Structure 1
Amino acid sequence: MSSSTDNKCAVCGKVAEETESQALKRCSMCKTRKYCGADCQHADWPTHKNACKPAWHDKHRKCDDGNRHEGRLELITWTLPGSDLGWGNCFAEESDDLKRKFEVEYGGDEEKFFEYWPQGFRWTCCGAEGDNTYGCDHHGAGRKPCTCDFCRMGKPLPDKIYKKKTPSRHGLELPRGPDPRSFHPGHAAVAGTARAFMGL
């Protein structure tokens, strides 16, 4: 499961706000390690080079809205307390069978298993389930502006969404927004009207 360590430099532990550019940079090859700057990245290379390779899920990063997920696909292996969902984000009574299928039929290969059961994964950048391709609702934590309705309206996520307990968001420290780069009066009017019309 992801933790706040995903938002720190892999070498010195600085968070984005403590860096000169107010941002962490990812390894351009594997996209998994984050660094506060070139010095830490160079210092980490002797250790990191053996594991540095493109991730299997890189080909799934592109979203329908043209944005890209910047996190990683992570298999949901936990049961959310108070939920009827278990391992693999399926009904708890079916989780043992699904886990056995992953281990035996797919040999523990996450890439192959994703092709069969994408909803059993989540993107660590936004908490979206693996089969959800509409976009990355990162609310300001991504390199490009967030395209969610709330960021476009200049509003933070409401409690009913931000505090909702789901297996795909469990354990992630996600921003609430709004992304200041996203506000657009026209988009805000359309999003506000559409959400009101749909009763959202």
Structure 2
Amino acid sequence: MAAESTCFYCRKLTSTKKLRRCGRCLGALYCNPDCQKKDRPNHRDLCGESDGWPDKYRGCKDGSLHEGKLELMTWEYTDEDGIQMGWGNVVIEEVEDIKRKFKVDYKGKKRLFFKYWPQGFRWTCCGTDELMNEGCDHHGSGSKPCTCDFCHMGRPVPASDSIHRGQTGPSMGLRLRRGPDPRSFNPTLAALALKGRATLGLEL
């Protein structure tokens, strides 16, 4: 978990260690009991839909929340460097070793295996691996506004984006929304995103 996180209600950035977790899902983070109480109407449905073990890993550094499931990656794909990847999101040559570890050392229990090998899992809500904690780019499918540059700009994610074409390992087989999330448009953030992406030579 990041050293600093954002309160899910007031959005104040503070040390993750000082924040309180929702005692039920262990995912939502709050400054104090008052923030937790005020956010209860928004958090209730998501918390109630919780299916257990992934929840304490849902919180993102920017205060957003992954709302999909953590899914063990069991398929083969070729990454951007042309390397063949397989079960557990490891290179093909290491697949049998990681499978044995899962079945023998962790007795086939995903909760235990996840603590050892989180990069073998993906979030179904945004098609990224579990290690991504900078925000869930759900582009309108989440309970809270999306935090990505494109939704701030009021634009859909470009059709060429490999995640949305299912071309990355963590996004394979998913049909992800391209947005924009109408709740996210913000002229100030849009201007910053346009300038920043142009400066870095990123797609607009």
Fold match by TM threshold 0.5: yes
Q: Which residue of 2 is the match for residue 167 of structure 1?
A: 169
Gaps of 5+ in 2: 1-43
- Please say if 1:73 is aligned against 2:75: no
Query: Is residue 2:48 matched to residue 1:29?
Result: yes
The number of equivalent residue pairs is 154
User: How much does 1:135 deviate?
Assistant: 0.9
Residue matched to 2:153? 153
Higher normalized strand content (fraction of residues): 2
Cα separation, 2, equivalents of 1:153 and 1:93: 43
Q: Which amino acid aligns with 1:105?
A: D
> What secondary structure sits across from 2:84 in the alignment?
coil
Structure 1 residue 163: Cα displacement: 2.0
2:96 matched residue in structure 1: 96
Deviation at 1:178, TM superposition (A): 0.7
> How far, CA to CA, are the matches of 1:181 and 1:132 in structure 2?
23
Which stretch of structure 1 is more off in the superposition, 101-110 or 78-87? Answer: 78-87
Name the TM-score, length of structure 1 as normaliser. Answer: 0.71
Counterparts of 1:117-156 in structure 2 under 5 Å?
117-156=117-156
Partner of 1:58: 55
Paired residue secondary structure (1:122) = strand
- The alpha carbon displacement at 1:71 in A equals 1.1
Q: Is the 8 A contact 2:166 2:173 kept in 1?
A: no
Report the alpha carbon displacement of residue 81 of structure 1 after superposing the two structures with TM.
6.5
Give the distance between the partners of 2:148 and 2:61, measured in 1 at CA.
12
Give 3-state SS (helix, strand or coil) of 1:160's partner.
coil
Amino acid at match of 1:139: H
The answer (yes or no) to whether the contact 1:140–1:177 under 8 Å persists in 2 is: yes
Unaligned runs of 5+ in 1: 1-24, 32-53
Q: TM-score, normalised by structure 2?
A: 0.70
Decide whether the 8 Å contact of 1:30 with 1:55 is kept in 2.
Answer: no
1:190 is matched with which residue?
192
The residue matched to 1:168 in structure 2 has which SS?
A: helix
Cα displacement string for residues 6-26 of structure 1 (whole angstroms, at most 9, x for unaligned residues): xxxxxxxxxxxxxxxxxxx96
CA displacement at 1:141 relative to structure 2? 0.2
Q: Are the structure 2 counterparts of residues 70 and 27 from structure 1 closer, same or farther at C-alpha, using a change threshold of 3 Å?
A: closer
Match of 1:106 in 2: 106
Deviation at 1:164, TM superposition (A): 5.2
Partners in 1 of 2:49 and 2:100 — Cα distance?
29
**One-letter amino acid of the counterpart of residue 48, structure 2:** M
Secondary structure of the 2:93 match is helix
Deviations 1:144-188 (A, max 9, x none): 000011111111111231225012111111111111111101101
Q: Deviations over 1:14-62 (max 9, x none)?
A: xxxxxxxxxxx9675342xxxxxxxxxxxxxxxxxxxxxx510111111
2:4 equivalent in structure 1: none
The corresponding residue for 1:14 is none
When the two chains are superposed, the root-mean-square deviation of aligned CA atoms in Å is 2.0
| Whole-Å separation in 1 of the counterparts to 2:166 and 2:71 | 20
Structure 2 letter corresponding to 1:147: T
Q: Please give the secondary structure, in 2, of the residue aligned with 1:85.
A: strand
